[in-house]
């Protein structure tokens, strides 16, 4: 099967590489000449474990290629996957400009019957709309149909999540499209859910928003735990043994970030209100997350008279470990809060420094190690639970900091151990 993939972000590049790994002929399309050159030489534009190995193997065996020439790529393809971004607009709705642009390029390029598959997360009804648009634009002797195939990969484990996905969701309106999709995914040997397009689009939002809701629920419970003297970690563990609940996504912290949960909760809430319905649970998840993100700096502001001139260390910048991505990371509003109040902020992240520089420029100091970051600081915030941050020994805080005052947004340490080491320690829900 000849497949073209539009967009080489997390979803597009990983999907393209994994489809090639499973034996398909894949060409990935991106407008950025430099990016294409890099990918051809085996360099991935994103930090993702195992990806470059698959890229190199399949580029050299001829199954995977990259191009800026969308016209040629789309013309030769039997199936075109659209995997471009659907960022958040200021009103919370999903911005479909990139999808529309690709659809126009497809319309001017294709010369034979083609199945177009939307992998990007799109509002319910988008597949149908794009299909209508394409059918109006293309020559009458060509047949196009749209299929929805949402992606559930998480950053940091994207390759594993794609090759060993929990399920393949396929939304189709004809046997023709169903058969093509089944053929594409046959070599993956994974459970397949075949439904209509609107349901497939909804499965993606409903899944992401449910996970976001679980996190916000646990953060809400964590806040109550602090008030009534319970320990949220024990509460989560106790809940997890009930297999109706399960153990995943019960970790309280300073809120969820990343390129999906914040935008997808807002997009579904927006879509429901446009349809005259208020999704109250999702609204609550969004509100709890907004409050949770600033919880520790607020607590710290009650502890000190002022942040003015204080040396503050921030350990971990990315929205979670295993990625260099800072999009919607709770660390961002926290650092902004500290800078606005005159703190001297030194940050450390094992891989997020380059992306942090694009946001904070020279407003913060970038330490090359944990020790350098916390040395002589009066306060330390933990924002991401990177293994090397979790492994810091309490005496390191005690010996290196001017005052051992630690605010841990990811519950990396045991409170009793920290307190016994003479550290004033605050975490979430304990």
Active site amino acids: 260
Contact residue for ligand UDX among 19, 64, 122, 260 (CB under 6 A): 260
Closest CA to 8 of 61, 65, 63: 65
Residue 249 in the binding site for ligand UDX (CB under 6 A) = yes
- Tell me if 204 is assigned to a ligand binding site: yes
Shortest Cβ 56–ligand UDX spacing (Å): 24
- Tell me if 360 is assigned to a ligand binding site: no
- Tell me if 257 is assigned to a ligand binding site: yes
Beta bridge partners of 425: 406
Task: List the alpha helices (DSSP H) in 138-196.
Answer: 158-163, 175-185
Interacting positions 113-172 with ligand UDX (CB under 6 A): 151-155
Contact residue for ligand UDX among 253, 350, 394, 429 (CB under 6 A): 253
Residue 339 in the binding site for ligand UDX (CB under 6 A) = no
Sign, CA torsion 43/45/46/51? negative
Residue 257 in the binding site for ligand UDX (CB under 6 A) = yes
First to last CA, the chain: 54
**Whole-number Å distance between alpha carbons of 76 and 88:** 32
Contact yes or no for 338/297 (Cβ under 8 A):
yes
The window from 30-38, 68-76, 195-203, 257-265 that contacts ligand UDX (CB under 6 A) reads: 257-265
Contact residue for ligand UDX among 59, 74, 205, 256 (CB under 6 A): 256
Shortest Cβ 430–ligand UDX spacing (Å): 15
**Whole-number Å distance between alpha carbons of 402 and 309:** 13
- Tell me if 249 is assigned to a ligand binding site: yes
Backbone phi and psi for residue 43, each to the nearest 5 degrees, phi listed first:
-100, 125
Alpha-carbon 392 to chain mean position: 26
- Tell me if 327 is assigned to a ligand binding site: yes
Contact residue for ligand UDX among 20, 320, 337, 343 (CB under 6 A): 320
Number of residues that bind ligand UDX (CB under 6 A): 19
Residue 185 in the binding site for ligand UDX (CB under 6 A) = no
Contact residue for ligand UDX among 47, 59, 205, 261 (CB under 6 A): 261
**Whole-number Å distance between alpha carbons of 391 and 407:** 16
Closest CA to 217 of 134, 126, 282: 282
Q: Which is nearer to ligand UDX, 67 or 199 (CB)?
A: 199
Closest CA to 377 of 353, 345, 409, 349: 345
Contact yes or no for 155/258 (Cβ under 8 A):
yes
The window from 1-9, 140-148, 255-263, 362-370 that contacts ligand UDX (CB under 6 A) reads: 255-263
Q: Which is nearer to ligand UDX, 127 or 292 (CB)?
A: 292
DSSP assignment of 332-364, as one string? Answer: HHHHHHHHHTT-EEEEE-TTTHHHHHHHHTTSS
- Tell me if 253 is assigned to a ligand binding site: yes
**Whole-number Å distance between alpha carbons of 82 and 287:** 32
The window from 50-58, 170-178, 253-261, 268-276 that contacts ligand UDX (CB under 6 A) reads: 253-261
Residue 251 in the binding site for ligand UDX (CB under 6 A) = yes
- Tell me if 346 is assigned to a ligand binding site: no
Interacting positions 35-94 with ligand UDX (CB under 6 A): none
Draw the binding track, 209-248, toward ligand UDX (x: CB under 6 A; -: no contact): --x---x---------------------------------
- Tell me if 38 is assigned to a ligand binding site: no
Strands (E) located in 54-158: 64-67, 79-82, 114-118, 144-148
CB neighbourhood size of 323 (10 A): 26
Largest CA distance in the chain: 77
Q: 3 in helix, strand or coil?
A: strand
Residue 263 in the binding site for ligand UDX (CB under 6 A) = no
Contact yes or no for 119/83 (Cβ under 8 A):
yes
Which residues are documented as binding site? 30, 35, 86, 121, 204, 249-253, 257, 263, 320, 327
Which residues are documented as binding site for substrate? 204, 249-253, 257, 320
Residues annotated within the binding site for NAD(+) are: 30, 35, 86, 121, 263, 327
Residues lying near ligand UDX in the complex (CB under 6 A): 151-155, 208, 211, 215, 249-251, 253, 256-258, 260-261, 319-320
């Amino acid at each position: 099967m000849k497949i073209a993939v539009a967009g080489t972000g997390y979803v597009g590049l990983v999907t393209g590489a994994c489809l090639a790994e499973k034996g398909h002929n894949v060409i990935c399309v991106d407008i950025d000449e430099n990016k294409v050159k890099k990918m051809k030489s085996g360099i991935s534009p994103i930090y993702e474990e195992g990806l470059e190995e698959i890229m190199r193997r399949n580029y050299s065996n001829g199954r995977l290629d990259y191009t800026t020439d969308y016209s040629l790529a789309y013309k030769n393809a039997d199936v075109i996957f659209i995997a471009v971004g659907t960022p958040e607009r200021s009103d919370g709705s999903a911005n479909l400009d990139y999808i529309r642009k690709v659809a126009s390029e497809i319309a001017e390029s294709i010369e034979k019957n083609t199945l177009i598959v939307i992998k990007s997360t799109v509002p319910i009804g988008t597949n149908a709309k794009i299909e209508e648009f394409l059918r109006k634009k293309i020559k009458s002797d060509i047949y196009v149909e749209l299929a929805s195939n949402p992606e559930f990969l998480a950053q940091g484990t994207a390759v594993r999540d794609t090759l060993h996905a929990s399920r393949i969701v396929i939304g189709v309106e004809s046997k023709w499209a169903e058969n093509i999709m089944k053929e594409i995914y046959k070599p993956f040997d994974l459970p397949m859910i075949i439904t209509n397009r609107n349901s497939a689009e909804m499965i993606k939002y409903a899944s992401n928003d449910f996970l976001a809701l679980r996190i916000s629920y646990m953060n809400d419970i964590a806040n109550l735990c602090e008030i009534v003297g319970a320990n949220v970690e024990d509460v989560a563990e106790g809940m997890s043994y009930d297999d109706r609940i399960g153990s995943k996504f019960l970790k309280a912290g300073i809120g969820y970030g990343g390129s999906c949960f914040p935008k997808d909760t807002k997009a579904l809430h927006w879509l429901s209100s446009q349809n005259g319905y208020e999704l109250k649970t999702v609204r609550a998840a969004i509100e709890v997350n907004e409050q949770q993100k600033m919880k520790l700096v607020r607590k710290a502001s009650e502890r000190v008279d002022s942040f003015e001139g204080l040396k503050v260390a921030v350990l971990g910048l990315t929205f979670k470990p295993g990625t260099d991505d800072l999009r919607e990371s709770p660390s961002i509003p926290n650092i902004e809060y500290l800078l606005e109040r005159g703190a001297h902020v030194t940050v450390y992240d094992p891989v997020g420094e380059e992306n942090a520089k694009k946001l904070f420029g020279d407003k913060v100091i970038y330490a090359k190690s944990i020790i350098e970051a916390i040395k002589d600081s009066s306060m330390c915030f933990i924002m991401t639970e990177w293994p090397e941050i979790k492994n810091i020994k309490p005496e390191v805080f005690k010996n290196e900091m001017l005052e051992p005052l630690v605010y841990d947004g990811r519950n990396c340490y045991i409170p009793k151990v920290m307190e016994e080491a003479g550290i004033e320690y605050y975490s979430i829900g304990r």
